[in-house]
């Protein structure tokens, strides 16, 4: 399949958008709802393929879930209420489903096999199975440390774990396992990562504390979780594509409402400001839990930036976009400490470099990052872009194409459905569906 990508209208991008619900929060609402008592109602749920993989896996474990558009109702089965699945659980393309479910299944009274698509089956899973052992869990992986996996449910005991990778997926798996252990477990992160699991578990009644250092999390085992309503804010990682588009295309001014402003996720806004971007933020009134607000972005010329390891977690999914912005900024930008990008849905360092070079961008691949020479005008080398089966690369290509001086073509655009099925119709809303000459 192939999609024709249009260049931007001459007067830039304009309008208001409410982008779909946050992917990370949608996954967690399903999982935590499933192991709670009573009903959980989720509003503004993300109907992307990854979250649907989580929904299907939970249904295969005997959880009743009904979805009507972005409204979802989950009948919680309680902490150990999952049923032995009759067939392997299909994780699709979703790393979040796989890693979080390993933690959720480790203390259940069942054995579950997990399978994934070809991209997911190459991604590292030992980072979860190894620390889970400290709780007494048993997860078998392939010889390469990948899927397929078999989780053999066990009785778990408390543990103290010092993580050696900055990953919210791994952290969340460990927090889930800690819910099944007797006593209080402690998890120490390498760097602070997104804390949606902690925030949501607290809202459902668990005793999960984060120390002042921001990296030490203590979890009391066997809480009573009670189902509740979850209103999912819009995904800043989805809004980021249009935020970047407005920052890239002269004349643009766009507004995004009700976007997640969880401080562990707002790296893209800080980076854009540092690059000289024109960004204003109005927080929504917020009683507790996840923060959200309105983001307005106006075009402004950008300057180069340097990012290092400690900057990475809060911008991990937006780094391909940052490279794209740096490619039209004034000066040379450098991203380091981002080797994690190599184990995402694709090797996002290699693939970002490959795709941006098609626009004539001067970009160098580092083991753990990229060096990007910015310039005002690009010089398209080939019109054939490829998502490589990676949703975020496909969307980055579509945004970069706005700056090209000709029409571009995107192969494998269907991958975008993983996190943003309405991406192209939303893009049309802010380009006005304008076809250029
Ligand atoms: C996610 C965490 C991040 C991120 C992914 C979603 C999550 O992965 O890249 O898109 O929902 O916890 P890592 O935690 O492995 O960095």
Please state the rounded mean pLDDT for residues 368-380: 97
Residue 288 pLDDT exceeds 90: no
Nearest-angstrom CA–CA distance, 44 and 42:
7
> Whose alpha carbon is nearest atom 16 of ligand 1?
167
Judged by average pLDDT, the poorest of 45-59, 108-122, 209-223, 274-288 is 274-288
Q: How confident is the model at residue 268 (pLDDT cuts 50, 70, 90)?
A: very high
Nearest-angstrom CA–CA distance, 219 and 169:
16
Cα 135 to averaged position of ligand 1 atoms, centre (Å): 22
Q: How confident is the model at residue 433 (pLDDT cuts 50, 70, 90)?
A: low
Question: Would you say 293 is a known binding-site residue?
Answer: no
Question: Would you say 291 is a known binding-site residue?
Answer: no
Pocket residue to mutate for ligand 1, from 27, 54, 316, most atoms within 8 A of Cβ: 316
Pocket residue to mutate for ligand 1, from 22, 24, 128, 169, most atoms within 8 A of Cβ: 169
Question: Would you say 95 is a known binding-site residue?
Answer: yes
Q: How far is CA 215 from CA 128, 219, 336, in A?
A: 18, 13, 22
Q: Which of 408, 430, 361, 396 is nearest to 244 (CA)?
A: 396
Cα 170 to averaged position of ligand 1 atoms, centre (Å): 9
Please state the rounded mean pLDDT for residues 299-306: 98
Decide which of 3.40.50.1240, 3.65.10.10, 3.40.50.300, 1.10.3720.10 is the CATH code for 3-21+233-436.
3.65.10.10
Question: Would you say 59 is a known binding-site residue?
Answer: no
Tokens in use for 163? 């993580």
Q: Is 341 in the pocket of ligand 1 (CB under 6 A)?
A: no
Q: Is 340 in the pocket of ligand 1 (CB under 6 A)?
A: yes
Residue-wise pLDDT for 310-358, tens only, equals: 999 999 999 999 999 999 999 999 999 999 999 999 999 999 999 999 9
Cα 194 to averaged position of ligand 1 atoms, centre (Å): 8
The stretches of 106-207 forming alpha helices (DSSP H) are 126-133, 168-179, 196-203
Please state the rounded mean pLDDT for residues 259-279: 98
Nearest-angstrom CA–CA distance, 355 and 374:
15
Residue 218 pLDDT exceeds 50: yes
Q: How far is CA 430 from CA 18, 40, 78, 137, in A?
A: 11, 34, 44, 49
Residues in the chain: 437
Please state the rounded mean pLDDT for residues 50-66: 98
Residue 436 pLDDT exceeds 70: no
> Whose alpha carbon is nearest atom 15 of ligand 1?
167
- Cα 236 to chain centroid distance, Å, stands at 9
Cα 96 to averaged position of ligand 1 atoms, centre (Å): 6
Cα 24 to averaged position of ligand 1 atoms, centre (Å): 7
For residue 100, give the ligand 1 atom closest to its CA.
12
Residue-wise pLDDT for 141-177, tens only, equals: 999 999 999 999 999 999 999 999 999 999 999 999 9
Q: Please confirm, yes or no, whether 317 is among the known catalytic residues.
A: yes
Helix and strand numbers (H, E) in the chain are: 12, 23
pTM: 0.98
Please state the rounded mean pLDDT for residues 50-63: 98
DSSP 53-85: HHHHHHHHTT-EEEEETTEEEEEEE-TT-PPPP
- Give pLDDT, residue 213: 98
Q: Is 97 in the pocket of ligand 1 (CB under 6 A)?
A: no
Q: Is 6 in the pocket of ligand 1 (CB under 6 A)?
A: no
Contact 178, 219 (CB under 8 A): yes
Domain with CATH 3.65.10.10 in the chain: 3-21+233-436, 23-231
Q: How confident is the model at residue 22 (pLDDT cuts 50, 70, 90)?
A: very high
Cα 136 to averaged position of ligand 1 atoms, centre (Å): 24
DSSP character at residue 244:
H
For residue 313, give the ligand 1 atom closest to its CA.
16
Residue 222's region, left for phi above 0, alpha for psi from -120 to 50, else beta, is left
Please state the rounded mean pLDDT for residues 216-240: 98
- Give pLDDT, residue 435: 46
Q: How confident is the model at residue 1 (pLDDT cuts 50, 70, 90)?
A: confident
Q: Give the pairing type, strands 37-43 and 229-231.
A: parallel
Q: How confident is the model at residue 286 (pLDDT cuts 50, 70, 90)?
A: confident
> Whose alpha carbon is nearest atom 11 of ligand 1?
24
For residue 171, give the ligand 1 atom closest to its CA.
14
Question: Would you say 6 is a known binding-site residue?
Answer: no
Question: Would you say 342 is a known binding-site residue?
Answer: no
Class of domain 23-231: alpha beta
Residue 437 pLDDT exceeds 50: no
Catalytic residue among 50, 235, 317, 417: 317
- Give pLDDT, residue 261: 97
Please state the rounded mean pLDDT for residues 201-209: 98
Residue-wise pLDDT for 388-431, tens only, equals: 999 999 999 999 999 999 999 999 999 999 999 999 999 999 99
């Amino acid at each position: 399949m192939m999609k024709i990508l249009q260049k931007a209208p001459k007067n830039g991008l304009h309008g208001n958008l409410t982008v779909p619900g946050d992917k990370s929060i949608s996954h967690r609402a399903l999982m935590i709802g499933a192991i709670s008592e009573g009903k959980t109602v989720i509003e503004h749920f993300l109907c992307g393929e990854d979250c649907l993989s989580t929904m299907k896996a939970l249904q295969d474990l005997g959880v009743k879930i009904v979805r009507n558009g972005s409204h979802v109702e989950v009948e919680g089965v309680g902490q150990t209420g999952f049923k032995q699945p009759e067939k392997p659980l299909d994780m699709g393309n979703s790393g979040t489903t796989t890693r979080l479910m390993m933690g959720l299944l480790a203390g259940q009274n069942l054995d579950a096999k997990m399978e994934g698509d070809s991209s997911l089956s190459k991604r590292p899973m030992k980072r979860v199975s190894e620390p889970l052992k400290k709780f007494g869990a048993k997860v078998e992986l392939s010889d390469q440390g990948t899927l397929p996996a078999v989780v053999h449910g066990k009785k778990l005991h408390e543990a103290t774990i010092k993580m050696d990778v900055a990953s919210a997926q791994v952290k969340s798996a460990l927090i889930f396992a800690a819910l099944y252990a007797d006593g209080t477990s402690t998890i120490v992160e390498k760097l602070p990562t997104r804390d949606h699991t902690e925030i949501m578990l607290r809202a459902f009644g668990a005793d999960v504390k984060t120390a002042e250092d921001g990296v030490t999390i203590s979890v009391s085992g066997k809480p009573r979780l009670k189902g509740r309503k979850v209103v999912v804010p819009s995904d800043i990682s989805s809004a980021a594509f249009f935020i970047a588009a407005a920052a890239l295309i002269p004349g643009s001014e766009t507004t995004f409402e009700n976007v997640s402003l969880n401080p562990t996720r707002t790296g893209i806004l800080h980076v854009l400001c540092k690059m000289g971007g024109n960004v204003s933020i109005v927080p929504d009134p917020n009683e507790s839990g996840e923060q959200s607000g309105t983001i307005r972005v106006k075009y402004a010329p950008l300057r180069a930036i340097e990012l290092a390891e400690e900057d990475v977690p809060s911008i991990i999914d937006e780094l391909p976009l940052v490279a794209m912005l740096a490619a039209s900024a004034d000066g040379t930008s450098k991203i380091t400490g981002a080797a994690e990008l190599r184990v995402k849905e694709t090797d996002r360092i290699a693939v970002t470099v490959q795709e941006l070079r098609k626009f004539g961008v001067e970009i160098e691949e580092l083991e753990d990052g990229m060096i990007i020479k910015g310039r005002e005008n690009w010089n398209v080398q080939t019109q054939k872009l490829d998502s490589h089966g990676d949703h975020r690369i496909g969307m980055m290509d579509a945004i970069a194409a706005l700056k090209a001086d000709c029409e571009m073509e995107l192969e494998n655009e269907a991958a975008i459905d993983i996190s943003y099925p309405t991406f192209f119709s939303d893009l049309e809303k802010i380009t006005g569906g304008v076809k250029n000459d």
